[in-house]
Every structure is written in structure tokens, then in C-alpha cells.
Structure 1
């Protein structure tokens, strides 16, 4: 007799979801006992870390990850991570256990009101009407997660797994996807581009693929346009060492208008137009700038204040646009300089507490007192010297993010990964999933000590499974970004610093190898050694670097 559990295993095999990321409870035991040898079980010690590891795995593979959570407590603990997975476009099927179907009406212990617990962040929440419907529900969830690149929840009562399954009654059908036609109507967009004298491109996370980069490079060179990276993007949409890369677009209206001064067309590829952080009065872009948006995400297109929005694969749109524009005229005038000076790494502008612009300190080693604390710039300069070109850099160091992006540019797709949602607790576990899915690429995570505490238990998973991630923990003993924001409103914050916190000591207790660094010599030695081992087999390494708090932050 085939059971619902065995039929679901078959669905997972057909969908290449043979790795289970989980922190289970009693409602999941029946699914997990005597797990077949071809299914791999990955335990994380908190549900946020479970979804975080699965997110890294799914982002790297662009295929759904399988997540198993425990009723209300498990799903509730994971909601923040699920929200991040949705905004980061990480496809996953999240099976959530429920109490026994036969007495759910009485709301027994551990019965969960699960359908609305994660709000609107799942693409869909499926509650199979019968045990027989579970395998087909998992198959349906897989197809939806893959098509729309996000999390889908399936709620399964615990007694369903041992119920008999009759494939003749209802089948988890094999679904064959018809390829989306490659023909895209870009005539209107091509006219906008052809009419522009000073076009500017904004590259978004949705363009982070090898084909996406190659085609957008070709377009930028064809129309001689500077390319900015979207504000607060989760991925890089353009090679940041290319001469036309202009930097990271600011996230407030006055500075956006300043950056785009002189442009007459803003072409946004792979994101919405345009993500902001602090509210400021005035228009989003300078007067006279036409805006066109290209995104595969309908929500991004619909909410963008644009003259034209194309809902389509950005790679295919740019391909079609290049074909329609044709080669550059051979008798054209010499290429005009970009509106902004191309630079690698780009200059990063910050704001002082008074609101006046100032540059972040990119000081040479000789400019610094050797007895003063290390600063973020010292760490990132040393890090840039040792990282291979194909490094996957995972970021969760809010106060020093602008400086990190300026000094360690993304040079290949997946060269930068962050939490587009803005919540903490993503980078530590996501780095594990990324490395598991991409064992041949170096994976390095730069994490603040405050940020690390949101998912520090994920380090146990890396140690237990011997996953070779390098974490750089920026230990400034406080929430530096919060301190800077408090200074802007000229207020005194109620939160304390925590100089006694040592993420390194916690990491050691969780089984990781740890190096503590508080001077330039130790930093250089630690990074040189770690850099030489990034491609070698071996377990995780955490370098805890004592740094002075960043005094500038530019959202």
C-alpha cells in the first residue's frame, strides 16, 4: 500500500527537491521517520535560520527549496524570513505541520490557525481538503514557486502522512511547462531610447544572471549610458567594475534628482522605479526625465511611476531592444562622456548628522594612527585584496554597507547578495545555503555583530555539515546604524551598547573555527590565510574583527 507520505516523496524526487530544510516538531515526525536515503535532511536550530539557509540554496539554484516547519510556533518564528524570501524572489515550498485532522474542530493542543499567519508574503497558502490531495498540493506549490520565484505554503495535518494513497483517485500530475515565447514587443521602448540624448540605466536585482549582465553591458555600450545599481537591491544587476558603472543610486529623492541631473531618459531594468528609504518632498526624478521600467515582476511594474512599463523577462527585453536598435552608426560622432564620471570603485557619499554631504573615509593605511581601532575601510580594503573574482559576497552590516559596496564591487553574477526586505537574520544562514548549492564558488559573508545575533544559531548547521563559508563579523559593540539615525533627529537613544558581546565565543561554542582580530597585522594574516583556502574543502571560519563604529551612514 502506498501512503500519502511516499507519494509526496515521489513528487519531491520528480521536482528535484530532495533536500529538506527543517526544524521539526511532533506534527512532522510521521513525515520524517525512516526517511529514504536519497532524501537529505538539513537541521537548523531556529525556523528563521531554516528559511534563511533554504533561501540561499534557492537563490543560487533558481529552483524551489523544500522547507518543513512545525505548526504555529515554527511558522510564526519564520515569518520574517519568509517575507525576506518573497522580496528576494527565493522560490520555496514550505510544508507546515498541523494537528491531527480528525479532531481539528476541537482545537487540540498544537492546533494552529495557520492560513493567515504569514500574511500576504507567501505567494499562496494551500490547505488540502483531504489527505489524498497532499501530493498534488505539493506539486502545485512547486510549480507556483518556480514560476513566480517565491515561497508557497502547504498546510498538512499530521495524520495525513500515513493515510493510504490511491493514484487513481487523484494524481500529482506531471506538469510540462511550455516555454514562454521569446518574442517581446519593444517598439515603444526602442523609440524612447532612440529619442533620448542622455539616457541613464538603473540595473536591478532581477537582472542578476550571466545573460542579463552580458546583454545589459551591450545595451549600455550601444547607447553610451551610465549604469547605476538600484538602491537597497538584493543582488547586483550589472558588473560593478565596468567603466560605465556609475555607482549605487541613493535612496532619497533629493540625491536621486542630483544623480540624474542632465538625463532625459531613465531606463530601469530588473526592479521597480525607484526604491526609497527616508521620505523627502519633491518629485522622484528631475523634470523632463522620461521613465521606462522593465521587470518580470508585475507588482514592480504596476507600482512604478513610469511612462512605460514592460512586464517581461529583462534579459529577453534587452535582447529584443538591441536587435531593434541595431549596431551603432559607423559615422556617429565620438562617444559622449557619461553624465557621471565612471569609477571603480565608485565614490560613496554619506551624510553627517547635520545633513551635510561628506565622503566616507577611504583613508590609506599610512593616514591612520596604527594604535587607533580598525575601521570598516581597513577591513574592506584588506578583504578586496584577497577575494577571488567569482566570490559570492553576502552582506548584513547596515552601517557599513555603502562602504562595502564601494570597495568590494560585484564582478560576476551572484557577486552580491543581501536582504531586500531590510530585516536582519538573513546573511548568516543564507551564506550556508549558497555555499551548499555552489560548492565551487567562494562564499563570504560580512555581518555586523548586532546583525549576527538574529541568526547566530545557524553557525551550528555550517559546522555540523562542514560547510566552508567565511564570515567576517564587524564587531563594533552596538547598533551603529541606529546610533547614526538617532543623531540625525538630534535625540538620545534609549538602547545601550553591548561591548561585552563576542560573536566569536558563541561561534566557538557552536563548533566553528574562530579567529579574533584587533589590529592590521592580525587582520592581514587572517585574511591572507582565509583567502588562500576559500576553494579548499573544509569547515566554516569566522573572523571576528574589532572595529570602531562607523560614523557615517548613507541610506
Structure 2
């Protein structure tokens, strides 16, 4: 008779989950001891990096990712990375080892007391099977739950003595099951939305990460061109759903009520597709909408639809919805949108590489279909002004704003998409949160290129200090860190550059390497102590 572990691995294989991201503890060893040879274990040195690597892998491949954590302590370490996976709708299947069933109530060492409550309310679903025989079915339920709309992470705690138990013979039926989502827009809804768009005098589109996740970027372009409508990306964008050099593109909406409302001035209809309404950040209160503006939202997430404070909402898969609307609307009589002006001349710095210059050089010398994983918030304006993102799946950003996603996610994304070059654009403040992922990249010879933008400070916090009027506060600077030495210590070749020509040479070498590379790019003039001047 097959064991619980053997049947579980058959289920994982049937679901394509043969890559396991983890950092093991004693509770996890009985599960890992049974790992088949066709599975790959990707070891991370900290659970936060493990979850972010899996997150990047899932976002880049469009499929699920399997994570194996250590009891309560490992799950706790993973929480920061988990917040990003929640808001990016990443289908992560998180498992954690649990103590032997008969000892949990005694709260022995490494018992995960009330295990299902630990990851809540972040995960879609959390479970600890009631008996060993129910473990395979619970794991199967977890995979399907993570993948059904709206996608998101799930969590299963498994007592480690369950793995050697005999499986229920009927559990052999599980690998052959299929579960699919449905419920697209009805024809009545399509007709109503098409009529609404056709009647609009000056419509505007706001696109979100679900568009890019669905690969519906081309249909978004078709709809924008038919309507001759400008396109914004929703605030706090974790993905790029629209080509950034298209005449309709207007940029990323600011993350404040007053500024979003200002951007909507003069538009009678705003159609939001694949995004919440809205993920604001800085508190600048005002009216949600200008007078005379109507907003309609199409989202795959019923929670996003329910919690929006204004507008009408339709819950449906955004890919088919965009295709149906693009097919149905009439070509507008409005004049064509003007072409975008040339890229602005990049600013330069005398003793460093200005972010404008860095991204202009990256645009010129990196592959056109490169996938950028960005966690450098203070350089966002420079990035969006200088980059030319054309392909779906070209941009990933921490969806919850929690640091530590970028560097490990770049490693995971490159592992998942070996056909595309992944470039991590990571601030020096952010890099420290996930630096251990460099070891994993070196261990598996993952050819990711990591750029650490070194300005010696938390630049985004300094900007927020100006917004909030807090002035100079403690903990703003991170001077004196040698990222080249750190990278080499983990086995990753690295060099530091402080001018554009040196950066181009370093980038060309990194792109031709057969393993990971790190380039420390000095992006601000630093004093002798390593801090910003």
C-alpha cells in the first residue's frame, strides 16, 4: 500500500509542482526523505527569501509554486514575503511541518499551536488535516484553491508522523482530477458595457496587474485604440499591463485620492480592468471622482469588488472580458491620440550614475524582452520615464510594498523563465532583506543579473518624510555596505561601477555569463564614510 508521502508526491507531479522551495527543519525531514528523483529542491537560507523566490517563480511562469516551511518559526519568518504574494494573487502552496500529532497539545518543542490561525488573514485558505489519511486530499484541495479565481496563497500544516502512514486507497483517484474556473461575462453584460463605452464622450482606461497576469495586454491595446482612449496603470502597480511607449500610455497613477481624482478630470467614464479601486498609499484626501465622472470596475477578485468605496463592479475573468469588449466596441470618431514624445534626455551626475542615465543605458543594452524585477522605489519616476516595456510579463514589483521581495523574486523568476533574461533592479536598502538568495542563485547557476542601486539611504523614506513633514528622523541611512564583497562571499561574481561607461561594460559581461552576476551601481555622490553627500 502506498504511503501518504508517496501519494502526495504523485499529486504534486500531476499538478506540475516538481520544484520545491524550502528551508528545512526537523519536522520537514520525513516529507523530504521521500522526494522522488524528478523533483528539484531549491534551498533558500531564510524563509522570507524562500517565499519571495517562489513568488517570483509563480509570477514569471503563470503557474503555482510549492513551498515547504519549518513549523511556526519558519512560517513566521515567511510572513513578510507572504504579504506580497497575497496582493499579487500568486498561487503559492505553503506547507509547514508540524510535531507528531499526539504531542501537539502538550506544546512540545516545535509544535505549531493553532497552526491554521498562524497565517491568517493573509492566506485564502488554511488547514491542518484531521487525520493522516486526509493529507493527500487536503494538499490537492490546497493546489486547486490557490489556482481558482481569485488566485492566492494557501497554507497546510502537516504533522510529520503522517507521511509514513498508509494512504487511503481511494486517494489514488486524486492525481487525475481537474478543477476549472468559469463564469465569464454574460452576453448581456458585454452588450451593456459596450454600449456604455460607445456612448462615452471621453472614456479613460485604468489597467491593473490581472491584465498582465492573464496575458491580455494585446487586447487592452486593441480596446484603447478602438476607443482612442488614454491608458493609466492603476496605483501601486506590481505589474505592467500595457506597452509603455504606446501613444495611449499615460503612466502609473499616483497613489493618493486627490491626485487620482485630478487625473480623471474631463473624463465622463473610467473603466478599471484587473485592479482594485484603488490601492492608495500617501494620505491626500479629496473627492474620489470628479463631478460627472462614472467608474466601472472589472476584476477577478470578488473581495476587490466588494470593498471598493465607489463605482460599479463586475466580477469576471479579465482576459476574456477585454477580448469581448475590444471585439464589440465601435471605432470612436475622436481624433487619434498624439504620439508620445521622445525619451527625455537622461540627467547625469558627476561622481555617480544618475538613475535616469542608468535606465536609459539599460534600455539600450539589455534584451528587448528582458523581465525586470524592481524593488527600488525611490527611482520609480526615472524607471517609468526611460524604460520601453513592450512584452507581457516584463515587470514585477512587490505588491504589498514589503521589502525583501525583489532580489529573491528575481532569482525565482529567472529559474522559472530561462528563456528570458531577468534583471533585478534593487535598492541598497531593499537588497539586505533578501541578500541570502544570492547563495541559491550561485548554487543552481541561475543566470540572473542583479543591479544594486547604491545611494546609501532609504530614498523612499526621505521622500515620505517631505510629504509628512517629519524632517530628519533616525534610521534613514544605510552607509558603508560593500555589496560586491557580500556577493562574492555567496559565490556570485560582482563589481562596482560609478559611471555610465563602466556600467555598460559590466552589464555586457553579466549578460554573457553562464551564472548569476551582481553589479553595484553607485547612484548618488557618497562621502568618505559611504553615506550620501
Query: Which band: TM-score by shorter chain?
Result: over 0.9
Aligned residues of 1:210 and 1:413 also touching (Cα < 8 A): no
- CA distance in structure 2 between the partners assigned to 1:420 and 1:549 by the alignment: 30
Corresponding position of 1:166:
168
Partner deviation per Cα, 1:398-423 (whole Å, 9 max, x = no partner): 11122212211321111111111000
- CA distance in structure 2 between the partners assigned to 1:188 and 1:293 by the alignment: 13
Alignment of 1:543 onto 2:529: no
Q: For residue 169 of structure 2, give the secondary structure of its aligned residue in structure 1.
A: coil
Aligned residues of 1:86 and 1:122 also touching (Cα < 8 A): yes
Partner deviation per Cα, 1:241-271 (whole Å, 9 max, x = no partner): 2111111111122322332221111111110
- CA distance in structure 1 between the partners assigned to 2:146 and 2:55 by the alignment: 12
Aligned residues of 2:346 and 2:360 also touching (Cα < 8 A): no
Corresponding position of 1:439:
418
- CA distance in structure 2 between the partners assigned to 1:549 and 1:282 by the alignment: 38
Unaligned runs of 5+ in 1: 348-361, 551-555
Aligned residues of 1:382 and 1:527 also touching (Cα < 8 A): no
Aligned residues of 2:137 and 2:174 also touching (Cα < 8 A): yes
Partner deviation per Cα, 1:487-521 (whole Å, 9 max, x = no partner): 33142211252321122211110010101101232
Corresponding position of 2:134:
133
Q: For residue 58 of structure 1, give the secondary structure of its aligned residue in structure 2.
A: helix
Aligned residues of 2:214 and 2:318 also touching (Cα < 8 A): no
Corresponding position of 2:508:
528
- How do 1:293-442 residues align onto structure 2 when only pairs under 5 Å count? 293-325=297-329, 327-328=330-331, 333=333, 335-336=334-335, 338=337, 343=340, 363-365=346-348, 371-442=350-421
Q: For residue 195 of structure 2, give the secondary structure of its aligned residue in structure 1.
A: helix
Q: For residue 277 of structure 1, give the secondary structure of its aligned residue in structure 2.
A: coil
- How do 1:33-72 residues align onto structure 2 when only pairs under 5 Å count? 33-72=33-72
Q: Offset of 1:93 from its aligned partner?
A: 1.0
Corresponding position of 1:478:
457
Aligned residues of 1:475 and 1:547 also touching (Cα < 8 A): yes
Which of 150, 153, 157 pairs up with 1:151?
153
Aligned residues of 2:352 and 2:498 also touching (Cα < 8 A): yes
| Segment of structure 1 superposing worse, 395-404 or 457-466 | 395-404
CA RMSD after TM alignment = 2.1
Corresponding position of 2:83:
83
Q: Offset of 1:435 from its aligned partner?
A: 0.8
- How do 1:135-214 residues align onto structure 2 when only pairs under 5 Å count? 135-148=136-149, 149-168=151-170, 172=174, 174-178=176-180, 180=182, 182=184, 184=186, 185-209=189-213, 211-214=215-218
Q: For residue 292 of structure 1, give the secondary structure of its aligned residue in structure 2.
A: strand
- CA distance in structure 2 between the partners assigned to 1:312 and 1:87 by the alignment: 18
- CA distance in structure 2 between the partners assigned to 1:540 and 1:345 by the alignment: 33
Q: Offset of 1:522 from its aligned partner?
A: 1.2
- With over 3 angstroms needed to count, the CA separation of the structure-2 counterparts of 1:311 and 1:169, relative to structure 1, is closer
Q: Offset of 1:233 from its aligned partner?
A: 1.1
- CA distance in structure 1 between the partners assigned to 2:420 and 2:501 by the alignment: 27
- With over 3 angstroms needed to count, the CA separation of the structure-2 counterparts of 1:300 and 1:2, relative to structure 1, is same
| Segment of structure 1 superposing worse, 230-239 or 174-183 | 174-183
Corresponding position of 1:512:
492
Alignment of 1:457 onto 2:452: no
Partner deviation per Cα, 1:287-322 (whole Å, 9 max, x = no partner): 111101011111122222444211111121122223
- With over 3 angstroms needed to count, the CA separation of the structure-2 counterparts of 1:155 and 1:547, relative to structure 1, is same
Unaligned runs of 5+ in 2: 527-533
Aligned residues of 1:65 and 1:93 also touching (Cα < 8 A): yes
- CA distance in structure 1 between the partners assigned to 2:94 and 2:255 by the alignment: 33
- CA distance in structure 1 between the partners assigned to 2:170 and 2:510 by the alignment: 56
Aligned residues of 1:138 and 1:154 also touching (Cα < 8 A): yes
Q: For residue 290 of structure 2, give the secondary structure of its aligned residue in structure 1.
A: coil
- CA distance in structure 1 between the partners assigned to 2:506 and 2:341 by the alignment: 26
Work out the number of aligned pairs and report it: 521
- CA distance in structure 1 between the partners assigned to 2:341 and 2:106 by the alignment: 64
- CA distance in structure 2 between the partners assigned to 1:405 and 1:323 by the alignment: 30
Q: For residue 115 of structure 1, give the secondary structure of its aligned residue in structure 2.
A: helix
| Segment of structure 1 superposing worse, 408-417 or 490-499 | 490-499
